[in-house]
Amino acid sequence: MDFLDQPQLDRLSSDDFRRQKPYPWSNPEGLIRDDAYHTLLDNLPDIALFEKRFGYSRDYGQKGHDRYSLEYNSNLDIAPCWHEFVQELHGSDYRAFLRRLYGFRPMKLSFHWHYTPSSCAVNPHCDSRAKIGSHIFYLNTDQDWKAEWGGQTLILDDHGQMDCKTAPGFEAFDEPVAANAIGNRSLLFKRTPHSWHGVKAIDCPEDRLRKVFIVVIERVRPLKVVRNLFRKSA
């Protein structure tokens, strides 16, 4: 099965992405073919595989991101369609799409799922400097989620004034932009020193979870740096 809709990827303008304010981001619809998207939804990983990530703190005094988390690896006991999807994301077409948007080459990709229960939040942060950016695929539809429950990723504008090594609350940002997070939507954004984003506390029924699958796009260290680190540790 082909998962990605190549014509949709081709239509996403790299110029529009890079010119977007307050930092490069896009919230496209249909980057996964509809039939493939529903196949993935019908075969989501069981929460029993996930690690509980609650009550921890982050650097700079930032609050932790409370949720269930599952890191992808090829040995996971999950539906074959998810392994096939990740294999396609490792392919040349998707990597060419990312290079076109982000302007980086080479890059390293990793993948994880997050399931988030009611009352939990992703507090404002800018991601680590090791990241080039992220591609978040939303896994809730109007059959299992309502917009009023929350779960939208908020694009936050600090007007270039805040240090990313601080811990502001949502009230420190005016006029956040909410990404559409229901249905076959995704969010791409580029990490900058001011790429603040977050998710306000979810208010959903106890039997529901906000579900996402995230592609993390990371820098690859130059070989010279890796060699120097190896020599120092030897």
Question: What's the pLDDT score for residue 54?
Answer: 80
- Comparing CA positions, the residue from 212, 138, 219 lying closest to residue 180 is 138
Which pair of structure tokens corresponds to residue 227?
């060699």
Domain boundaries, the chain: 6-233
Would you list the DSSP string of 19-50?
H-SSSSEE--B-SB-HHHHHHHHTTPPPGGGS
Q: What's the CA gap between 211 and 137, in Å, rounded?
A: 9
Q: What's the CA gap between 104 and 127, in Å, rounded?
A: 17
- C-alpha torsion sign, points 16, 154, 138, 217: positive
- Can you list the positions of beta strands (E) in the chain? 25-26, 51-53, 67-71, 107-116, 122-125, 131-138, 154-155, 177-178, 186-190, 197-199, 210-219
For tokens 């977007």, the residue is 20
The tens-digit pLDDT sequence of the chain (234 residues) is 899 999 999 999 999 999 999 999 999 999 999 999 999 999 999 999 999 988 666 555 556 578 999 999 999 999 999 999 999 999 999 999 999 999 977 899 999 999 999 999 999 999 888 999 999 999 999 999 999 999 999 999 999 999 988 989 999 999 999 999 999 999 999 999 999 999 999 999 999 999 999 999 999 876 544 454 455 444
Fold exhibited by the domain 6-233: Jelly Rolls (2.60.120)
Question: What's the pLDDT score for residue 234?
Answer: 46
**62 DSSP 8-state letter:** P
Order of strands across the sheet with 67-71?
25-26, 186-190, 131-138, 210-219, 107-116, 67-71, 51-53
Question: What's the pLDDT score for residue 60?
Answer: 55
